[in-house]
Amino acid sequence: MNQPQQFNRPNQQAETWVISRTDEGFRVYSPADPAKSYIVGGGPDDSTCTCPDFQYHEGDPHWRCKHIQAVLDQLGIKADATARRTGAAGDSE
């Protein structure tokens, strides 16, 4: 069946990332392409990434690239679209 395209990246949920901690933040890369690694820094509410995708969306504070998403996912932080604070989970600070 030929369905119309609903999203730009229909396969994004299937992506796997290798994440390792560094002094600057988290180094994120795809096992399929380890030469392209990016650094995700900042906090959950203020994450940054060194990938071109993130630079492109720099003006949008709510936009997260797939690397940031992967790191937040790894940390167990729910990246809700509503961006509500996780009061119930408690702060680890």
Give contact residues for Zn ion (rule: CB under 5 A): 38, 49, 51, 54, 65, 67
Provide, rounded to whole angstroms, the least separation between the CB of residue 85 and Zn ion. 23
Measured from the CB atom, is 21 or 84 closer to Zn ion?
21
Measured from the CB atom, is 26 or 54 closer to Zn ion?
54
Kindly state the tokens that stand for 89.
């989970």
Amino acid making up residue 43: G
Q: Write out the E strands in the chain.
A: 18-21, 26-30, 33-41, 48-49
Instruction: Measure the CA–CA gap between 72 and 54, rounded to whole angstroms.
Output: 15
Provide, rounded to whole angstroms, the least separation between the CB of residue 24 and Zn ion. 14
Provide, rounded to whole angstroms, the least separation between the CB of residue 89 and Zn ion. 25
